Each structure stands twice: as structure tokens, then as C-alpha cells.
Structure 1
Amino acid sequence: MHEFRFFEIWREPEYVERLLTGVFTSFWLTVLSSMLGFMVALGLAVSRRSQNKALSFPAATYVEVVRNTPLIVQLFFVAFGLPMLLNYRWPFELSALLALSLNFSAYYSEIIRAGLDNLDIGQKESATALGLSKVQGFVLVVLPQSLSQVYPSLVSQFIFLFLTTGIISEIGIEELTWSGRFIADRTFRDFEVYLVLTACYVLLAMLFRFFFVFFGNRLFPWKKFEEQTS
């Protein structure tokens, strides 16, 4: 029968430090890539809804390519393929950030586009009636209303992105999954280590969700988000 020895994970200060470093790395990569991806996603969503084929076709092609290829292939392409093509090697941390941002932007753009497509036409007409220009109406009325409708889906996609950061351990980034593998290889306590990793991911995902409920209720005061934002 297996004898549980969780203390072997905590007895070495190096192991605890590795776990904390992994949590921090996963956190900042998720936050930064989501911010970059969201900005790109806004442009993609608007471009896909454009009547101008020069805008809509490239945006649609980009989204379909990203959504129909594995994230790990995208990661390897950015980390190894592009540097070989350009004859310039950048840090793996930058590769991870770019790959996650590009992947994130494609999925977020479809969520945002759905929100824009489903917005009541009356909201757009009210912006025009107030004398707002198209740009002002979009920024001040259309976009906030659209985002409030799809906010739970955006949060769920953010959580999913956080959970997929474990893939970047394949290029040697010392995030949470890499840290767990490092400890397991040295303690041979795989069950205990990966159970601790599971608890870490669940706890962090719950903290993210609670934060976004709090944030969403203040960002969109006309909506009421509960703890279940998925």
C-alpha cells in the first residue's frame, strides 16, 4: 500500500521555492498574455465584422488557423521555427508569451464578435440619437454593452488559458507544472507532488474567478455576476 509522504515536498526549501516560482511564472504569463491577446482580439473581432474583405479575410484566416492547430505546435513554431527563419533567437519566456497571446487572441476574438453580433440594435441607435460619432458610439456604448454580455465566457477562457500554461514547460519555462516535474524527479513521490499541483491549480483558478466576479460587478454595474461566471 502506498505510504503518503507529503513532508518530502516541504522539507527542502528549494522545493518550496520552486513551487512558489512556478506559481509566479504561471501567473504573470497568464496575465500579460491575456492582456496582449485581448487587445489583438478586439482588432480581430472588428475586422471580421467589416464589409472590407481586405480586413475580414485575413482576420478570419488567422482565427481559423490558430483555432485548428494545437497550442503546443504554435509554441514550438514561435520558439524554434521563427527564430530559425529569422536567424535570431529570442528568450523562451518571450516565445511563451507570444504563443499564449496569439492563441488567446483567436479564441477571445470569437467571443467578442459574438457579443457584438448579438447586441440589441437599439443600443446602436441610442448612441446615434445622442449625437455620438461611430467611433464614440462603439467605444462608449456598443463595446461595453457587448462585453458585459459575454463577460462570463471571457472569464472562462481566461481560466482555460491559465490552465494551459503547463504546456510551456515543454520548452523549459519554470512554471508550475515544470516545478512539479522537477520535484517529482528528485523525490520519486509522483502522487503527492501532482496532487499538490492539482490543489494549486484549483485554488488559483478559484481565486481568479472570485476576482473577476468582483471586478465584473464594478466594471459593468448594470449587470450582476454571481460566483459562477462560466
Structure 2
Amino acid sequence: MTYQWDFSPILARWPMLLDGLFNTVKIAVIAIILGVMVGLVLALLRLSPRRYLRLPSSVFVEFYRNTPPIVHFFWFFYALPVVLNISLDPLIAAVLALSTQSGAFYAEVFRGGIQSIERGQWEGAKALGMSHAQLMRRIILPQAATRMFAPFVERSFELVKTTALASTLAYGELLYRAMMVNSETFRPLEVYTTVALLYLVLLVSCSGLARLAEARLTAYR
């Protein structure tokens, strides 16, 4: 028996899926912004000559790089409230999980970009009397930004896809809304095909914007 595709029940519930897509974008943008801040701090700490700064940041990065993302979601949503005797909204728990995890990966992107700058430029800036902060701000980071762009974008795309795990916390992102639609329509093939296409359109659009930004960054350099 040939399966009869029918997308009409999904189209009738299109606003629900669009709301989920909006929530996916919202949580991704917040997590990327926070993750970049966390990652930059971790990268600078890992590059510090002081061991007491390098060691904790290295442990943080290795922990997140070598543990499943879903464990982080569950820990922030179920365990942290017990430890601190507080109640966390699913959105906040998901953002904490995503931003700390992505921060660990961004840290490696930033560290690699910074270390790729030739040592002669470091030494030349120091010879001119620049402080470490001036050296990073004026010489190293502007050059490293171009080299870090591609892996940064790739990591950000991975973060967008990882937002689907927020559905395990009953946060209303795209996958969670899709499961609600599926429970009403009993059309899993159509529902999850639509979800895949929405993710595809979102990430392909972001990829196009990223290429434009990279071209401008390269031209500016």
C-alpha cells in the first residue's frame, strides 16, 4: 500500500510551527551572544601564563567537549534548582545549557585563531611598549577574527541544531511545537519532513548571510 502524503493538517496549524521557529531563533541568538562572551573569556584564560587561570578554564572546556549536550540540559533544569533551591524556567535552563556548552567550543575557536598569529607580531608589539590588553585589542584580535570566522559559523550552526534538545524541557521551540502538531494530526511523516525543511531553510539562509559577512570582513582586512 502506497502512503498518501497529506500536508493540509500541517498547513492548518502553520502558526504553531512558526511560533516554534521563532522560539528556536530566539534561544539560538541569546545562546550565541552569551556563548561568545563565555568563550572569549575562557580562551584568554587558557592563554594566560598563570597556571591557576589556565587549569580551571581547561577543565571547563574539556568537561563540556566530552559530555553529551542533553546531560547539560537535564542538569540545569532538574539538578541546579535542587542545589540552589530555586525554580528555573525551561527557557533559562536551555539558554544556560547552550551558552555554557557553546562557550567551551567557541573558546577553542578563539584560542586557535589567536595562536595562529605569527609570533613576530606579538614580539613587535611588545617592543613598541604595548600592554597585553592593547596588543590583543589592536593587533591580534582584528587579524584573528578573519581566521576564526568559518569555524565560528560552523559551531553556531551546530548550536542552532542543538536547540532541538530544549524540547526535552517542554520549551516551545520548533521540535516541541512539531510534536504537539503530530499529537493532533497523527501525520508524523509530514510533520517531521516540514520541520526538517524549516531547519534547512533557516540554516541555508544564515549560511548565505555568513558568506556575505565573510566577504565584507575579508575586504575590510
Q: Give CA deviations for 1:30-55 in whole Å, capped at 9, x if unaligned.
A: 11111101111011011111121110
Partner AA of 1:3 in structure 2? Q
Among 43, 46, 52, the alignment partner of 1:45 is: 43
In structure 2, C-alpha distance between the alignment counterparts of 1:194 and 1:92, rounded to whole Å:
23
Report SS of the residue matched to 2:87. Answer: coil
Work out whether 1:5 is the aligned partner of 2:6. yes
What's 2:141 paired with? 143
What's 1:108 paired with? 106
Q: Identity across aligned pairs (percent)?
A: 32
Report SS of the residue matched to 2:158. Answer: helix
Shift of residue 128 of structure 1? 4.0
In structure 2, C-alpha distance between the alignment counterparts of 1:46 and 1:216, rounded to whole Å:
24
What's 1:195 paired with? 193
Among 183, 188, 202, the alignment partner of 1:185 is: 183
Shift of residue 142 of structure 1? 0.2
Partner AA of 2:203 in structure 1? A
Partner AA of 1:156 in structure 2? E
Stretch moving more, 204-213 or 154-163: 204-213
- Size of the aligned set, in residue pairs, is 220
Unaligned runs of 5+ in 2: none
In structure 2, C-alpha distance between the alignment counterparts of 1:130 and 1:31, rounded to whole Å:
39
What's 1:90 paired with? 88
What's 1:28 paired with? 26
Unaligned runs of 5+ in 1: 224-230
Shift of residue 126 of structure 1? 4.6
TM-score, normalised relative to structure 2: 0.94
Among 163, 167, 176, the alignment partner of 1:165 is: 163
Structure with more contact order per residue of length (Cα contacts < 8 Å, sep ≥ 6): 2
Stretch moving more, 214-223 or 106-115: 214-223
What's 1:153 paired with? 151
Q: Give CA deviations for 1:155-185 in whole Å, capped at 9, x if unaligned.
A: 0000010011100100000101111111111
TM-score, normalised relative to structure 1: 0.91
What's 1:72 paired with? 70
What's 2:57 paired with? 59
In structure 1, C-alpha distance between the alignment counterparts of 2:220 and 2:197, rounded to whole Å:
35
Shift of residue 218 of structure 1? 2.9
Stretch moving more, 214-223 or 160-169: 214-223
Aligned-residue Cα RMSD (Å) equals 1.5
Partner AA of 1:205 in structure 2? L
What's 1:226 paired with? none
What's 1:99 paired with? 97
Q: Give CA deviations for 1:178-221 in whole Å, capped at 9, x if unaligned.
A: 11111111111111111111110011001111112222333443
